[in-house]
């Protein structure tokens, strides 16, 4: 087992927010896939709900009847400090993270505890970098945000693509995302929160740029592309202003394998132009509505956090992300694919990230780091073994 920090603690992994929709899916995945000898616990604010979850898990695996239960509220700094000090890794599903996430990040940074979450909120990631990266570097904690569909398929997909291109030359990669799925109340609440905080998000990004060390002798960029028809994928490509390209850019900054001059662009991939135009208009309406607090609260209430699609609907869901990488006279087309992106596969990605941080031999990193920089090949191997596809579709 990986014991980077050199101190024995009661638990290897604590799952915080275990009783929420994605949290319970993650708990079920850990129950089925955590290896013998891995010591893990369920955590949340409600002991009765934790007990009910444990009972459901025990119906599938009687060993879960003895799972430890830890109670802590996301706003209770003292309880979160005790929780962080008791484990090597905390995996958190409690969002919106800008509202509920910081005290747990701070506790992990102070305790030298690795942290993984599912955030897709750029403002939260930038604020956590500004406030807690330095402390985490001092204690050896790895703070790894976006360990679900945001942003594992994109971050590790680009990492996988770059490894199939020449070294030491300028590289470009474009990502094209397609998915057939529905979202949960928690995801909707996080999206509305992020859309309604445009000014705060831009301010946090500016402050981060002022504090981040400049790259010397290398360049890494993730500019927003323009809408266009992609002949390579046969689809319309719409720029996706999500957290994902920022994460890819940070991996490129951290890893010299991405070459001396790296550029990434991130697109939604849509087959039919009317659908592309309709999706753009709908996003604009939603973004506008999110600026009005009363409307934002009403919309959030329509999709209560903790709810989500049923198992049959998730079984029909899917995602593919295609990457076109070029450099040094070589061109590769790669693909990452899987099932239900928002829930089943996200739970799998978070659980495997937590297992990877707790149990695998990894590069020596600390502070706020990306999945590619912190876990790279080890997490890639885990996800491929767990059924998420990473393949080269074409190369020349």
Delimit the domains of the chain by residue range: 11-148+345-382, 152-340+389-395
- Structure confidence by residue, pLDDT tens digits, 99-143: 999 999 999 999 999 999 999 999 999 999 999 999 999 999 999
For residues 43 and 15, is the Cβ–Cβ distance under 8 A? yes
> What mean pLDDT do residues 144-151 have?
95
Phi, psi of 313 (to 5 degrees): -65, -40
> What mean pLDDT do residues 295-306 have?
54
At residue 270, the pLDDT reads 85
Rounded distance between C-alpha atoms, residue 15 and residue 117, angstroms: 10
Percent of the chain's residues with pLDDT above 70: 84
Query: Distance of alpha carbon 332 from its chain centroid, rounded?
Result: 25
- Give the model's confidence band at 284: pLDDT under 50 very low, under 70 low, under 90 confident, else very high: low
Q: Which CATH class is domain 11-148+345-382?
A: alpha beta
Residue 133 tokens, joined: 């990266």
Rounded distance between C-alpha atoms, residue 242 and residue 349, angstroms: 18
Rounded distance between C-alpha atoms, residue 310 and residue 274, angstroms: 29
């Amino acid at each position: 087992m990986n014991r980077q920090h050199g101190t024995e603690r009661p638990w290897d992994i604590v799952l915080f927010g275990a009783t929420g929709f994605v949290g319970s899916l993650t708990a079920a995945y850990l129950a089925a896939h955590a290896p013998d000898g891995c010591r893990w616990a369920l955590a949340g604010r409600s002991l009765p709900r934790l007990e009910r979850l444990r009972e459901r898990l025990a119906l599938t695996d009687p060993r879960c009847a003895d799972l430890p239960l830890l109670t802590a509220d996301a706003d209770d700094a003292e309880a979160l400090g005790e929780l962080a000090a008791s484990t090597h890794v905390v995996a958190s599903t409690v969002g919106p993270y800008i509202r509920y996430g910081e005290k747990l990040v701070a506790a992990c940074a102070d305790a030298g505890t690795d942290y993984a979450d599912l955030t897709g909120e750029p403002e939260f990631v930038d604020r956590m970098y500004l406030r807690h990266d330095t402390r985490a570097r001092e204690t050896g904690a790895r703070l790894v945000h976006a360990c679900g569909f945001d942003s594992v398929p994109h971050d590790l997909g680009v990492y996988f693509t770059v490894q199939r291109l020449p070294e030491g030359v300028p590289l470009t990669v474009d990502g094209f995302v397609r998915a057939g799925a529905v979202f949960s109340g928690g995801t909707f609440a996080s999206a509305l929160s992020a859309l309604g905080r445009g000014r705060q998000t831009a301010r946090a990004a500016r402050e981060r740029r002022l504090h981040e060390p400049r790259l010397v002798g290398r360049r890494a960029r993730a500019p927003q592309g323009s809408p266009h028809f992609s002949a390579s994928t046969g689809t319309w490509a719409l720029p996706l202003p999500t957290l994902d390209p920022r994460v890819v850019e940070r991996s490129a900054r951290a890893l010299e394998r991405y070459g001396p001059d790296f550029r990434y662009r991130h697109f939604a991939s849509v087959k039919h132009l009317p659908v592309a135009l309709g999706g753009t208009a709908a996003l604009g309406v939603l973004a506008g509505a999110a600026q009005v607090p009363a409307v934002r609260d009403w919309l959030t209430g329509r999709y209560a956090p903790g709810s989500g699609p049923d198992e049959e609907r998730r079984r029909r869901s899917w995602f593919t992300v295609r990457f076109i990488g070029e450099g040094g006279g070589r061109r590769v087309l790669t693909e990452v694919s899987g099932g239900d992106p928002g829930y089943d596969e996200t739970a799998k990605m978070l659980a495997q990230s937590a297992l990877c941080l707790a149990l695998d031999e990894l590069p020596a990193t600390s502070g706020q780091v990306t999945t590619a920089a912190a876990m790279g090949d080890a997490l890639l191997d885990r996800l491929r073994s767990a059924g998420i596809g990473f393949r080269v579709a074409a190369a020349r």
